[in-house]
Structure 1
């Protein structure tokens, strides 16, 4: 019998993006939760384990009674740990895993995933459109927006935010992609007499950031990720009238679409290696890379070829297909490809992925669900009144 307020453990991941989702979901449940910092043993073959603590330092990880009613985890490294907790708790423990598990799907009560992982349709699999995020802090958002609004006041409006990622799987931010991005972003800003608010990210290659910082000709403000200056990322999203995001970053795409503003996806590839092509791998794809000539053949091209072959012939668990998220966002009329016309007079609704996921978990534990999320105030939008400028 689950207590009136279930005890929730969150197994912290080694990846910051997964921890953002874990905390966002656990917080939205409204029951409070304990974060368990897992201390892994280096080099341990965690993927060979089933239900075990052999891959972690148990004492440092802080496992002790009372045992939880619910464990929320992500990352293959935490799968054996969550399964061990359930097997040794002496009471029913529900396991919720975010992303794509390495083990068989049957070992989890609920798997919360997104389209790029291509999980099969199962009763215990729920596929959101995009990753989950914490709502933006209203007070901090107001201060950041005011600060950057004053700082950018010399630039002509409207503002267009340009959020830049980096290499990802079968896609490379090569010289041709950088040049196309600069050309298309410049053209977009100049066509409306506005300015670009540019921000790179942790994955942006140095040569991409260098090129952007020196070759944009439209009025712009350029922020290089990692410099001492305050990060203007959320302020840029709030101040912009439209947003351009490179198609490699699903997190930045989801945050951009959460603003309910027009979002444009930049295609890192072109022709046979475009993000819009339907084929994983083809003769034309190979010819594209080899056609660059050995003098211009980058090591990243070899990585792209190997990844595309894995997508074509390898197990799905080894790769991601970002095109499925692009297709979902475009089908929901939240985004278009850069260069295409945005949907006119389209009423876009906030994402309801977090609130729907919360209801799935509450049903697992026989707890009252949230009101009908299709008609109630969304629980999961990144937006706050300060962030959107609404009342």
Structure 2
């Protein structure tokens, strides 16, 4: 790996994962700089360029020389820190920001904007969904690692990834029961093995209902004990079912090239619905109606594609 870069993050798993995925695809050695979100910079990221703000000890305790050649951030609440670092380094740090910061793109050297966000510009690279670490080698390695965990299940296996409440959308008991009822019916009528994982956002209401599924001989629900088999299950499955709340999880599922079914979970905002519509129109996903079919499509490989574009730009600018 070449040239150190900084990943600036408050520890949010989904955002930090995208930064790591891009750094690794760029073959950059990275340090993670964990910071606490700033109310000022979250509301007004452009204020990161104001010297009196970033000279405060709150920022300088993490941002000090020697500065990296590259920084990677993700999400609006981290955008101001990238701008501050650019100013503190007197312009020497090349900033890469993932997701639409909803401010002038000129504050950054490179922006990676999901297709379902509106911003466009010369320094913007458009991605389909989230950047992920999912690739063929990773899937094969994790499938081999966790095969012993699911050997008792039927050979035809389905990975089921359950999310939970998100900003502005709370999952109620009725929704949780409906999901589990549908999965219970699938377990009864199908000759497949069901491999179920939850996310950090999964409500206790859903987890409680899911525990009932563990009583089925052809179902395994990962309950957080031991290493997380999430990617292993993606590799071992022939079909994947994902709840609609997480663009990250859907992007990861669509990076496998396997059939992906979507279970509606809560109400989607306009941006998320645009992404879901695109994945379905491109033949990657279908709504889950209790029936399983097989189909093929071109797997998402956005991390490598985006990295190749940015790598060329960084090389042209003599950054790497």
Displacement of 1:164 after TM fit?
A: 0.7
Which residue pairs with 1:375 in the alignment? none
Find the aligned partners of 1:146 and 1:357 in 2 and give their Cα distance: 28
Task: Pick the structure with more strand per residue.
Answer: 2
Which protein has the larger Cα radius of gyration, Structure 1 or Structure 2?
Answer: 1
Partner of 1:28: 25
- Give 1:330 deviation, angstroms: 1.1
Q: Could you tell me which residue of structure 2 aligns to residue 83 of structure 1?
A: 83
Quote the Cα distance in structure 2 between the aligned partners of 1:165 and 1:339.
18
Match of 1:279 in 2: none
Deviating 4+ runs (over 6 angstroms): 340-343
Q: Runs of 5+ in structure 2 lacking a partner?
A: none
Instruction: Kindly provide the CA deviation profile for residues 229-288 of structure 1, in whole angstroms up to 9, marking residues without a partner as x.
Output: 33221222122221111111122212222221111000125xxx5x5xxxxxxxxxxxxx
Give the distance between the partners of 1:57 and 1:110, measured in 2 at CA: 26
Q: How far apart in 2 are the matches of 1:93 and 1:70?
A: 5
- Which residue is 1:132 aligned to? 131
Query: SS of the residue aligned with 1:57?
Result: helix
Match of 2:311 in 1: 362
1:329 to 279, 282, 298: 279
Unaligned runs of 5+ in 1: 276-310, 312-319, 369-391
| Pairwise CA RMSD | 3.2
CA distance in 1, matches of 2:30, 2:231: 28
Corresponding residue number in structure 1 for 2:265: 268
Aligned with 2:96: secondary structure? strand
CA displacement 1:100-132 (0-9 Å, x = unmatched): 21533231222212245x223322332311211
1:355-377 C-alpha deviation (Å, 9 max, x unpaired) = 23223323433449xxxxxxxxx
Aligned equivalents of 1:54 and 1:77: distance in 2? Answer: 19
**Count of equivalent residues:** 309
1:208: which partner in 2? 206
TM-score, with length taken from structure 1: 0.68
Q: Within the alignment, does 1:353 sit opposite 2:302 as a pair?
A: yes
Partner of 1:96: 96
Match of 1:182 among 180, 183, 191: 180
Distance change >3 Å, CA 44–CA 330, structure 1 → 2: closer
1:292 alignment partner in structure 2: none
- Normalised by the size of structure 2, how large is the TM-score? 0.82
Mark the CA change 1:357 to 1:140 in structure 2 (over 3 Å): closer, same or farther. closer
Mapped to 1, the partners of 2:149 and 2:100 lie a distance apart of 42
- Matched-pair contact (CA < 8 Å) for 2:166–2:201: no
Larger displacement relative to structure 2 (82-91 or 126-135): 82-91
Match of 1:293 in 2: none
Q: 1:202 to 1:361 in 2, by over 3 A?
A: same
Secondary structure of 1:329's aligned partner: helix
**SS of residue in 2 equivalent to 1:235:** helix
